[in-house]
Amino acid sequence: MLDGKKGLENLEGYCDSDWGSNFDGKSFSGHGVRCGGVIAWKTKKQPVVSLLSTEAELRSISELTQDLLWLKKLMEEFNIRPTTNVWCDNQRAIALCHSPLYHHKTRHINIRLNWIRDNVLRKDIDLQYVSTAQMWADLFTKGLGRPKHQDFSAQLGLIAVLSKVCKSND
């Protein structure tokens, strides 16, 4: 079933949120997972209002990490041991996940934060920064202009079917 395993050694997820953009103040989380190509994605309205943009990003990191760890375990059933990278464009959220210090501004989200931190410390995930310009998970959380949408879609290996059909009819 999994012939060769080439390209399956790196499981990587990109996550993002759009802090408080909905009329009720709730944010949207979005993430995508690649392993050779895109294998999973999700967009979801967060269940509660986030007081900080960092909190909204932590929720997004948490949801992605849950999905990545499940996929990693599934791959291990096939004797594939992938590295697991999480990419985020919020430097404050990343710093909190790497720091063992208590932060009074995050006391209301400490359980989620500590769970992510535990996974980082155990090296279950490698949480890293990616610039906003390279954050293709924006496809799941933001309305993008055409050039950015096309660029991110191309990074995922997606093609615009309608434009291909229109060009072939010319």
Establish if 4 belongs to a structural domain: no
Establish if 69 belongs to a structural domain: yes
Q: Which position has the higher pLDDT, 67 or 53?
A: 67
**Structural domains of the chain, count:** 1
Q: For 137, phi and psi rounded to 5 degrees?
A: -70, -10
Q: What is the pLDDT of residue 166?
A: 53
Question: What residue type is 104 in one-letter code?
Answer: H
How does pLDDT run across 33-45, given as a tens digit for each residue?
Answer: 989 888 898 989 9
60 neighbors 68 (Cβ within 8 angstroms): no
The two structure tokens encoding residue 74: 């599934």
Establish if 5 belongs to a structural domain: no
Q: What are the C-alpha distances in Å from 109 to residues 13, 25, 28, 93, 118?
A: 22, 17, 17, 12, 14
Mean pLDDT of 54-69: 95
Establish if 2 belongs to a structural domain: no
Sequence-distant (≥ 6) Cβ neighbours of residue 15 within 8 angstroms: 29, 30, 31, 57, 60, 61, 63, 64, 86, 87, 88, 137
Q: What is the pLDDT of residue 14?
A: 92
Share of the chain above pLDDT 70, in %: 78
pLDDT band at 1 (very low <50, low <70, confident <90, very high): very low
Packing angle of the helix pair 110-121, 53-77 (nearest 10 deg): 40
Q: What range defines the domain where residue 68 resides?
A: 10-169
pLDDT band at 58 (very low <50, low <70, confident <90, very high): very high
Establish if 51 belongs to a structural domain: yes
Establish if 105 belongs to a structural domain: yes
Establish if 84 belongs to a structural domain: yes
What's the whole-model pTM score? 0.79
Establish if 28 belongs to a structural domain: yes
CATH number at residue 75: 3.30.420.10
How does pLDDT run across 97-108, given as a tens digit for each residue?
Answer: 998 776 676 777
